[in-house]
Structure 1
Amino acid sequence: MILPDASLDQLFRTARTFNGYLDQPVGEDEFLAIWELMKMGPTSMNSLPARMVWCASDAAKDKLAALAIGGNADKIRKAPACVIIGMDVDFHEQLPELFPHAPGAKAMFPDRAAREVMALRNSSLQGAYFIMAARALGLDTGPMSGFDNTAVDAAFFTETPHVKSNFISTLGYGDPASLHPRSPRPEFGKFNRID
């Protein structure tokens, strides 16, 4: 079944990346609702390597903003919430629970470098599901990569050194006044081919 145009608009065509938000709070109810949707998106072997830190307090946002680059710090501080999308390099430890029909799956990942590639790929997918889940629930996001990954890992993942930051995103109800004109979106033929 094809979604109606209004849904496609909300998820894709008129959805935007926001730089600022309305003075409207978001909290645990929204975080849980987003997670309940995003966890359903596919990942390799149901590995679900994303580890999320939902920075809702001013203290948490200030801590994260201090590790951001340029104007991203101000965006983080002013957003109702900010989310660190991390990746668990030891995701394979969870496979006996998450991928139970293949009891030997954990043993397939002895190489850390290979796990890092898989964790990055699949946590990135989960980060995209986070964006789409937020949009589906009427929220907006501002994903960004302008921050010191090593410092964020030290500040937020000290007790879980096998978890590394992938990217971060602001979260809230977007303020249309903060938008720039939409950047170009090329036609199919520019970046695609059919063989």
Structure 2
Amino acid sequence: MPQLDSTALDQLFREARTFNHYLDTPVTADDVRAIWDLVKMGPTSANQLPARLIWCLDRDARERLAATASDTNADKIRAAPAAVIIGMDTEFHEQLPRLFPHADAKSWFDGNRELREVSAMRNSSLQGGYLILAARALGFDVGPMSGFDAGAVDKAFFADQPSVRTNFIATLGHGDRSTLYPRSPRPAFEEFNRIL
């Protein structure tokens, strides 16, 4: 597989930023479907795919989400053209006969809620990372965040899916670069890594 060129690496990593402010350009249902079509291809353990996404494209949905967030995050959600809730389904194993058909992977998780919860968190977090990269690859910017009441998000958005809990949320759109702070420092390899 060929290495991506420098322009692509800049778009995905080096020049990409976390955005708090966006241009007034809508995000459409077609846009989020295109993002999902990339996200779903990212690897997860045994193809678990536990993420359950709710895309808040209309103002009322974003307002409901903002009501669960801290003051500064609420303002970011209200002002963004879109937001997404990355949830995790702790009953993901029910889908494994279809998603991982070459092994009896469902049996690995039957009766073991603790293992399902750890796997759901790990793999939905991976999928959230893929979402950020997929959005950037398609020309969008993302603002992932904590700073919200997860129980309130679950009640407002996942009440009909009791096995789904919120992992994190993010805003989405075309970022307003004029509002960016200088980039925060990044550590040198030797600071956070070891080669054995």
TM-score class, shorter = over 0.9
Q: CA deviation at 1:83?
A: 0.1
Aligned equivalents of 2:117, 2:178: Cα separation in 1: 39
> What is the 5 A alignment of 1:1-195?
1-102=2-103, 104-109=104-109, 110-195=111-196
Percent of counterpart pairs with the same letter? 64
Unaligned runs of 5+ in 2: none
Q: CA deviation at 1:179?
A: 1.0
TM-score by length of 1: 0.98
How many residues align? The count is: 194
Worse overlay, 83-92 or 176-185: 176-185
Aligned equivalents of 1:24, 1:57: Cα separation in 2: 13
What RMSD, in angstroms, separates the aligned Cα atoms of the two structures?
0.6
Q: CA deviation at 1:178?
A: 2.1
Q: CA deviation at 1:108?
A: 1.0
Q: Secondary structure at the match of 2:153?
A: helix
TM-score by length of 2: 0.98
Q: Secondary structure at the match of 1:34?
A: helix
Cα deviation 1:140-162 (Å, max 9, x = unaligned): 00000110001100110000010
Amino acid at match of 1:173: H
Deviation beyond 2 Å, 4+ runs, structure 1: none
Aligned equivalents of 1:178, 1:52: Cα separation in 2: 28
Amino acid at match of 1:69: S
Q: CA deviation at 1:56?
A: 0.6
Amino acid at match of 1:19: N
Q: CA deviation at 1:123?
A: 0.1
Aligned equivalents of 1:180, 1:90: Cα separation in 2: 40
Aligned equivalents of 2:149, 2:38: Cα separation in 1: 29
Q: Secondary structure at the match of 2:71?
A: coil
